[in-house]
Structure 1
C-alpha cells in the first residue's frame, strides 16, 4: 500500500512538473498517444459493421478526426462502423474534448506562474474574471457544463428518434452520440448520410445547433457567466468580445448564406420560408466550427464555399473545443484596424485597453495559420489534382478542425488522407502549442534599440 501511494505521489509530481513547465510538450505527447490508442481500437474487426479489419489509414484518419473533434471522415460513419465502433468514436470525441479544455487550463495556469510579481498583480483581475487563475474551478466547470449540456441534448432527441421507429436502444445510442458530438463541435453523425434527411425536422436540428453554439463559446465564458450572469457589466472583456463577435458572425453568415443559396434547388431552394430560416440558423452556427450540415455542401455554390472558408478559419471561442484562429483573435485584429483608422494610440473596448502584446500574438497566430493553409493546400493539390476551390475548402476544414466537406474525402489517395491527418493534428494541438510558446516566451530586455517607423502601405 505504501509503495502504491509513493508511486502515485511520484507520478503526480512528475505530471505537475511537465504540465506546468512544458504544457505544449504535454499537449503534443498526450494527443499523439490518445490518437494511436483509438486507432488500435478502431482497427479491431468488431469495430466495423462487416466484421473485417478496417484499413489502417481509415482507422487512423477516423481516430484523429474524433480525438481532434473535427468530423472529417473517409468512410460513412453510420454504415461502416458497428455499434461498438460508434461507441469508440463517441468516447474518443469525449476524451478529446475534455483533453482540449484541460490542457488549455494548464497552459493558463502555467502562464500565470511564469509571470513576475508586478505582472501578476496586473493580471489578477482578469484571471479572476475569466476563471483561468483557478484551475480547480475551471476543471469542475468543464465537467459539469459538458455532461449537463450533452445530457439535455440527448434527452430532447430521444423521444424524437423513438417516434421515428428507431427502437429504444438505438434511439438512446443516437441521442447520446449526437449530444457528445454536438457539444464538442465534432460533426460526427451516426445516421447514414448524416443529417440531410432531417433538413426539415427542427426537433433534431435545433438542439444539435444549440449544442454546437454553446460548445463553441469556451469554458472561460461559461465560468464567467455562471459567476456573474446577473451583472453583465462585470463580465470580463474576453466574455464580451466572444459573445458579440460570435453573434455578429452568426447573423452575417446567415444573411450571406440566404443570398447565395435561397434559389439553389440542390440546397435550400425546395424549402419553404420557415424551413429555410431554420436551416440558415443551423448552418450559420456550424459553418465556423460544428461541422454538421443539413444539406449537401458539395452542391452548394462556390460563393458559399468561399464564405465558409473564411468562417472555418476564424473558428470558435478561445478555450473551447472549436478550432480556427478563434473569434477573439479576429476581434483584436478588427479593434487594431479601428484604432489605427481613428488615429488612436491604444486599442480599446468596453472601457478597457488592450495591450500591444495581445495584438502581436493575434497577428502571429493568424499569419502562422495562413502559412499552414497555403502550404497544405499546395501539397494537397499536388497529391490529388483536385481544383483549388475544393482543395482549399478541405484543407481549411481540416486545419480549423471544423469537419465540413464537399464530399471528396472518401475517394482520396492515402497520401492525401495523411496530409489531412497531419493538418487536423497540427490545427488542434498546434494552436495550443503556439499559444503556450507565445505566452511563456516573454523576455524582459534592459537595453532597447532606438525606434524608427518604416513606411506601411
Structure 2
C-alpha cells in the first residue's frame, strides 16, 4: 500500500516532469503527462463514489431491508462524497442506522479529501516553479510549503477538522438530550451527524424538514452556522489565522481577500434575506423579532454552501430566492469544504472591474498588484461555472415539468455543491437525477482541478503578435 508520503512524492514528480526542454523553452508542457495528476484525482473520486453507491444498494443500508435503486444510491453517494447535500431519499427514514453511519463516513471522507487534495495540488503547483517563485508563493499563502511532508499536512487537517466538529457537536448533543424528548444516545447521534454535515458543508440532515423544527433554538442553529463558516473559509486561511489572528497587518493577500469578502457577503446576505423575508407570512412573518433575526442570519449563512435550512426555502419571496442563488454561486473560501466559484475569485473580478472604472492600468489589492494569470484564471473559472449552470438548466427543463426558477435554483445548488432546494429534489425523475450526478461531481472537483491545471499550463512565449482592439460594449 502506498503511503501518503509516496503519493506526495509521485505528484511532485509528475509536476517536475511537466517541464521539458524544446523549441518552446523550459516552460513548455507535455500535455499527455500533464493530464496524469488531474486524471488521478478524477478517477479516484469517481471510484469512491461508485463503490459507495454499491454499498448503499445493500439491503442492510435500507431501513425497509430492501435494495435501493442504483440511480438513487449513486445520487446519494455523489451528494455525500462531494458534500453537496441534495437528497432524493429521506435520510432519516429511508436509510437504516448503518446507512446513516456510512453517510457520515462519506461526508467526513469527502470533506477531508477535498481539503487534503487542495493541499496536495498546492504542493504540486509550488513544485512546478523555480525557487524564487516558490518563495513568493509561500510568502503570499503562508500555509503550504513544498518541504512539508504530506502526512504532517494531512494530520494537521484531520486534527483541525475533528476539533471543530467536536466543538460544534457538543452544544447540540447536550441541548437535544436535556431540552428535547431525546435519549442521550439519540441526542448524541443527531448532534454528531449535523456537526459533521455543517462543518463539511454537506447539507444532509436526519430530518425531512432539515433544521426547521429547531428554528427557535440558538443552541442548535448557532453551532451549525459557525460550522458552515469555519469549514467553508478554507484550510490556508485557518492555518494562518491560527498563527496571526490578531495581527491583520501580517495577513497574506489570500487571507485578507478571503476574510474581508466573507464578512462582506455574510453581512450583506444576512441583511438582505432578513429584510426581504421579515413580513413573509410563510417564513419569518409569524415569528417574534429575536427568532426572525436568528433564522434570517441562518439563511444568510447557509447559501455559502451549508445546505441546511430552518424555514421552507420554497416559500421564500422571489427576491430572496434570487439573492440565495447569487450567494450559492459565489460559495466559500478556497481550500475548504464549501463550493462555488470561491470568494477570492469573486473579489478578484470586482477588483478588476473597479480598476477598469478608475482607469488604472493594473489591479491592486491590499498593497499588492494582481498578476495577469490570476485575473485570467478567475475569468476562466467563472465562465466555466456559468456554462455548467446554464447547460444544466437547459437539460433539466427538457426532462422535468418544473419552472425556470425551480430548475435554476436546483442547478446552481448542485453545481455550487450547496444542497438547498425549492422542494423539487425528491420529485426529480431518474433521468434528471442522472443529469445532476456529473454536475455535482464537476461542481466539486472542477474548480480545484481547473485552477491547478491553469497554474500548471503557464508557458513563456518567444514572441508576441501585433495588438488588436475589437469594439467592446
For residue 170 of structure 1, report the CA deviation from its aligned partner.
1.3
Identify the match of residue 378 of structure 1 among 394, 419, 431. 394
Aligned twin of 2:19? none
Identify the match of residue 278 of structure 1 among 286, 294, 303. 294
Q: Does residue 1:150 correspond to 2:143, yes or no?
A: no
User: 1:15, 1:114 → 2: CA distance?
Assistant: 13
Aligned twin of 2:17? none
Instruction: Please state whether the residue corresponding to 2:233 is helix, strand or coil.
Output: coil
Aligned twin of 1:130? 143
For residue 155 of structure 1, report the CA deviation from its aligned partner.
1.1
User: 1:124, 1:215 → 2: CA distance?
Assistant: 22
For residue 49 of structure 1, report the CA deviation from its aligned partner.
1.4
For residue 139 of structure 1, report the CA deviation from its aligned partner.
2.8
Give me the CA root mean square deviation.
1.7
Q: Are the structure 2 counterparts of residues 229 and 81 from structure 1 closer, same or farther at C-alpha, using a change threshold of 3 Å?
A: same
Compute the TM-score of the two structures, normalised by the length of structure 2: 0.92
Q: Does residue 1:312 correspond to 2:320, yes or no?
A: no
Q: Does residue 1:28 correspond to 2:42, yes or no?
A: yes
Aligned twin of 2:432? 416
Q: Does residue 1:453 correspond to 2:469, yes or no?
A: yes
Q: Does residue 1:217 correspond to 2:221, yes or no?
A: no
CA contact (8 A) 2:8 2:120 kept: no
Aligned twin of 1:3? none
Instruction: Please state whether the residue corresponding to 1:52 is helix, strand or coil.
Output: coil
User: 1:160, 1:40 → 2: CA distance?
Assistant: 36
Aligned twin of 2:412? 396
Identify the match of residue 55 of structure 1 among 58, 69, 80. 69
Instruction: Please state whether the residue corresponding to 2:305 is helix, strand or coil.
Output: helix
For residue 13 of structure 1, report the CA deviation from its aligned partner.
4.3
User: 1:65, 1:17 → 2: CA distance?
Assistant: 29
For residue 195 of structure 1, report the CA deviation from its aligned partner.
0.9
Aligned twin of 1:4? none
Q: Does residue 1:95 correspond to 2:109, yes or no?
A: yes
Q: Are the structure 2 counterparts of residues 384 and 146 from structure 1 closer, same or farther at C-alpha, using a change threshold of 3 Å?
A: same
For residue 19 of structure 1, report the CA deviation from its aligned partner.
6.7
Compute the TM-score of the two structures, normalised by the length of structure 1: 0.95
Aligned twin of 1:17? 10
Identify the match of residue 113 of structure 1 among 122, 127, 132. 127
Report which stretch shifted further, 443-452 or 355-364: 443-452
1:86-121 superposed Cα distances (whole Å, 9 cap, x missing partner): 100000000000110111111101111111344334
Give 1:131-280 correspondences, 5 Å limit.
Answer: 131=144, 133=146, 134=148, 136=150, 138-163=153-178, 164-280=180-296
Q: Unpaired runs of 5+ in structure 2?
A: 15-35
Aligned twin of 1:75? 89
After superposing on structure 2, the runs of 4+ consecutive aligned residues of structure 1 that deviate more than 6 Å are none
Aligned length: 449
Report which stretch shifted further, 114-123 or 25-34: 114-123
User: 2:373, 2:77 → 1: CA distance?
Assistant: 36
Q: Unpaired runs of 5+ in structure 1?
A: 1-6
Report which stretch shifted further, 257-266 or 321-330: 257-266
Report which stretch shifted further, 185-194 or 327-336: 185-194
User: 2:13, 2:338 → 1: CA distance?
Assistant: 24
Q: Are the structure 2 counterparts of residues 392 and 39 from structure 1 closer, same or farther at C-alpha, using a change threshold of 3 Å?
A: same
CA contact (8 A) 1:315 1:326 kept: yes
